[in-house]
Structure 1
Amino acid sequence: MTTSLKLISHKLCPYVQRAVIALNEKGVPFERIDIDLANKPDWFLKLSPLGKVPVLVVSTDKGEVALFESNVICEYIEETQAGAKLHPADPLTRAEHRAWMEFGSAILGDLWGLETTTDPATFESKRLALSAKFARVEAALGAGPFFGGNRFSLVDAVFAPVFRYFDVFDEVTELGIFSDVPKVRAWRTELAKRPSVQTAVGADYPQLLRAFLARHDAHLLKLAA
């Protein structure tokens, strides 16, 4: 059966980046279509029940199926595409990895608050929440270089977009979130070198993220030295 993949995307979305990284790691050809989430096209709303990206449109000889939710998409890619395995073979370790993928999503929830709030007190509470979560990640990490050791996994695909935010934030101010987590810092550095991670966004990502912060009148920008 012939299959082609089309990924409906937004240039800043970290959940989209997970899917792109997984596809890149497996060397799978796909078409990427970026949309404006502030002005969602009707055809997209028909595909996405939640009105969110990513959506992976899988076209086969029998027709099209639209998959939504990033972890569902990543699992489908892992189960159906050739290339490097992105989940551990052991069921218990695989379940543990899936749990940490969910933890990565929880971190993104705090990150959203950090980057969009105009209130200094809310900003500080989110900064402390992120510090606490990364302390939990630090305790879970082994010798590296990746989350599960020598092999890149879907947990790495989830956390790489998280760390990418801080590449821009660090240009604004020092948040101190990674001060006491040396394993996390080493992991972040390693993921930034990965070609699949580097190519998951366009060269305009930093400018787009700064413009997003400016539109939200983000407290973060007011901390600039």
Structure 2
Amino acid sequence: MNIGTIELVSFKLCPYVQRSVITLLEKGVVFKRTDIDLANKPGWFLALSPTGKVPLLLIDNKDAIFESAVICEYLDEVTEGSLFPADPKLRALHRSWIEFGSQTLAAIGGYYSAKDEESFRHAEAQLRGRFEKLEDVIAGPYFSGADFMIVDAVYAPVFRYFDVFSTLVESDLFKGLAKVEAWRRRLAARQSVIDAVDVDFAQALIAFVIRKQSYLSHLLQSSVPA
């Protein structure tokens, strides 16, 4: 199927962009990526995006699809094969856990933005609870078995945060969660996940969090080599 000229409007640190890029790469779609500054959104972008958010999938320079879950499902539908289970119940379960992944990203925002140790530890405990729930449902080696699915594309950016943070700050978030850890490592090694971000992603993310002047900011800053 000819799906037209594809452009993904993005922000280099956005995890929702990452899941869209991973899906594009997994489906073998040729696309152009255009990064914008979310602090200074260009007028042409605001004219195309009703929400003012990234990612935005632009088809043939005119039709704009927004919201990452919608983008991923559209790409899956218009290309060969599927990154969703064929069974309707399993497909619905995947969509449920995709939503859980989006909620987990919101919880991560609270984690890296927490201003003091008390609120940081509270956010950390909430995240740990979420990862414990995942431990109970992962089939392995990917979320539902041997095949990489869109639900895996959703969680790869979740785990990437901690791949970066753990280079400077120790954490017990995944301690004892053997299936989550194995899944996390498998996702980090997949080529589409690696290629979903620029080579300077880790440095840019650390700088972004340090600018937050949060509790995690101070932990990271104290560990950055002089």
Question: What TM-score, normalized to structure 1?
Answer: 0.94
Residues 141-169 of structure 1: CA deviation (Å, up to 9, x unaligned) = 12x11001000000100000001000111
Paired residue for 2:197, among 177, 194, 201? 201
1:6-155 correspondence to structure 2 within 5 Å: 6-59=7-60, 64-82=62-80, 84-142=81-139, 144-155=140-151
SS at match of 1:172: coil
Change (3 A) 1:216 1:85: same
Change (3 A) 1:169 1:81: same
Residues 87-134 of structure 1: CA deviation (Å, up to 9, x unaligned) = 011111000000000000010011001112222221111100000000
1:169-208 correspondence to structure 2 within 5 Å: 169-208=165-204
User: In the alignment, residue 11 of structure 1 is paired with which amino acid?
Assistant: K
Cα distance, 1:85 vs. partner? 1.9
Given that 2:211 and 2:217 are in contact with CA atoms closer than 8 Å, whether structure 1 keeps it comes out as: no
Given that 2:55 and 2:68 are in contact with CA atoms closer than 8 Å, whether structure 1 keeps it comes out as: yes
* 2-structure distance, mates of 1:205, 1:163: 14
* 1-structure distance, mates of 2:180, 2:99: 17
Is there any run of 5+ residues in structure 1 with no aligned partner, and where?
A: none
SS at match of 1:33: strand
* 1-structure distance, mates of 2:208, 2:113: 9
1:219 is the counterpart of 2:187: no
1:147-166 correspondence to structure 2 within 5 Å: 147-166=143-162
Residues 27-79 of structure 1: CA deviation (Å, up to 9, x unaligned) = 110000000001111111111111110000111xxx72101100000000000
* 1-structure distance, mates of 2:112, 2:194: 22
Given that 1:127 and 1:175 are in contact with CA atoms closer than 8 Å, whether structure 2 keeps it comes out as: no
Identity over the aligned pairs, expressed in percent?
Answer: 50
SS at match of 1:147: coil
User: In the alignment, residue 25 of structure 1 is paired with which amino acid?
Assistant: E
SS at match of 1:56: strand
SS at match of 1:57: strand
- RMSD between superposed Cα atoms in Å: 1.2
* 1-structure distance, mates of 2:72, 2:3: 20
SS at match of 1:184: helix
* 1-structure distance, mates of 2:218, 2:172: 16
